[in-house]
Amino acid sequence: MLEIKDLHACINGKEILKGINLTVNAGEIHALMGQNGAGKSTLSNVLVGNPAYEVTHGSVTFNGKDLLAMKPEERAHEGLFLSFQQPVEIPGVSMVNFMRAAVNAKRKYKGLEPMGAGDFLKMMREKRKIVELDSKLANRSVNEGFSGGEKKRNEIFQMAMLEPTLSILDETDSGLDVDALRIVAEGFNKLRTPETSALVITHYQRLLDYLKPDVVHVLMDGRIVKTGGPDLAVEIEKRGFDWIKAEAEAD
C-alpha cells in the first residue's frame, strides 16, 4: 500500500529525514517511536504534502501511484489521512460546513454527485457517536474552544467521515487523560477493516496496548534504526532508547 524508498527531506534548509525506507501493507498497523527531534512528525508532514517541508531525495508510492507528485488534497482523496498533533482552530467555519466541503470534494474527485443534506447530517450523527462527541458538534467552529481531548476526538471523527485507507496518527495520545485515550483508541479500532492501515506515532505504550501494532519501528536522527514486533515497544517502555542508540552506534 505505502512504499517509502530512501526518503530525504528538509525544513528551512536543514535535513531532518536522512534516508527512510518503510513499507506498510494493507491491514497493517505500524508504530513509529523515537525521541523528540528524531524526525517522526517530519515524516508524517512529508507524507501528507505539507508545503513547509521539502523532499530532496527518494520516492513514495501509495497504492502504486507517485504520492509526492500529488497535491495535498489529492493525497487526501486517494485515502491518506493525518490526525494532527496540534489541530488548528478555524473560527467561524462550522464543523458541518467544513466536513461537507471535505466529503463533497472527495466525491467530486471520485466522479460522484455531492451528498444530499439529509444523508450528510445522518452520516455526521452516526460517526460522531464513535468518539462520543455530542450533537452540538455540527454547529461548533472547527476546533475552536475545543478542549485538548475534544480536539483529538474530533480528529478521529473526521477520519470516520472521510474513511481513509491509510491513517497517520501523530501523537494522538499526547495530552489525553485515561478516559479520553480509551475513547480515541476504541474509536479508531471501530474504524479498522482488513483493508485499512495506519502509521501510529507515539511515545507511549498505553496507546499501543489498545491499537496492537503489527510492526514497531524506532526512528533516530532521520533514519529507521530498529524494527521489531509489538514486544519492541514494551521493551522501549521499560528501558528507554539509549540501548538502541548504543546498538545503532555499534553497527
Partner 1 sequence: MKEKEIKKETVGNAEEKNRFVREVAQKKYEYGFTTDVQTEIIDRGLDEDVVRLISAKKEEPDWLLEFRLKAFNYWQTQQQPSWGHLTLPEIDYQAISYYADPTKGMKKDGPKSLDEIDPELMKTFDKLGIPLEERLALSGTAVDAVMDSVSVKTTFKEKLSERGIIFCSISEAVREYPDLVRQYLGSVVPYRDNYFAALNSAVFSDGSFVYIPKGVRCPMELSTYFRINARNTGQFERTLIVCDDGGYVSYLEGCTAPMRDENQLHAAIVEIVVNENAEVKYSTVQNWYPGDAEGKGGVLNLVTKRGHLRGANSKLSWTQVETGSAITWKYPSCILSGDNSQAEFYSVAVTNNYQQADTGTKMIHLGRNTKSTIISKGISAGKSQNSYRGLVRVAPRADGARNYSSCDSLLLGSDCGAHTFPYMDVRNDTAIVEHEATTSKISEEQLFYCNQRGIPTEEAVGLIVNGYAKDVINKLPMEFAVEAQKLLNVSLEGTVG
Measured from the CB atom, the residue of 98 and 210 that comes closer to partner 1 is 98
Q: Which stretch binds partner 1 (CB under 8 A): 105-113, 116-124, 171-179, 204-212?
A: 105-113
Q: Is 11 in the site for partner 1 (CB under 8 A)?
A: no
Residue of 40, 77, 128, 217 interacting with partner 1 (CB under 8 A): 77
For partner 1, the binding residue among 6, 25, 56, 90 (CB under 8 A) is 90
- DSSP code per residue over 114-154: PPPHHHHHHHHHHHHHHTT--GGGGGSEETTT--HHHHHHH
The DSSP output letter for 28 is -
Q: What is the rounded distance in angstroms from the CA atom of residue 61 to the CA atom of residue 98?
A: 29
Least CB distance from residue 235 to partner 1, whole Å?
Answer: 33
List 73, 134, 195, 247, residue binding partner 1 (CB under 8 A): 73
State the nearest-atom distance from the C-beta of 247 to partner 1, in Å. Answer: 35
Q: Which ranges in the chain belong to alpha helices (H)?
A: 40-48, 72-77, 95-109, 117-130, 148-162, 178-191, 205-211, 230-239, 242-250
Q: What is the DSSP letter of 78?
A: T
Residues 6+ apart with CB under 8 A from 213: 29, 30, 31, 200, 230, 233
**Which among 110, 240, 217 is positioned nearest to 162, based on CA atoms?**
110
Compose the 123-142 pattern: x for residues touching partner 1 by CB under 8 A, - for all others.
Answer: ------------------xx
Would you count residue 145 as binding partner 1 (CB under 8 A)?
no
Least distance from partner 1 to the Cβ atom of residue 203, Å: 23
* Closer to partner 1 by Cβ: residue 88 or 250: 88
Alpha carbon distance 120, 222 (integer Å):
42
50 scored as a contact of partner 1 (CB under 8 A): yes
Q: Give the footprint of partner 1 on this chain (CB under 8 A).
A: 48-52, 71-73, 75-77, 81-82, 84, 87-88, 90-94, 97-98, 101-102, 105-106, 109, 141-142, 158, 162
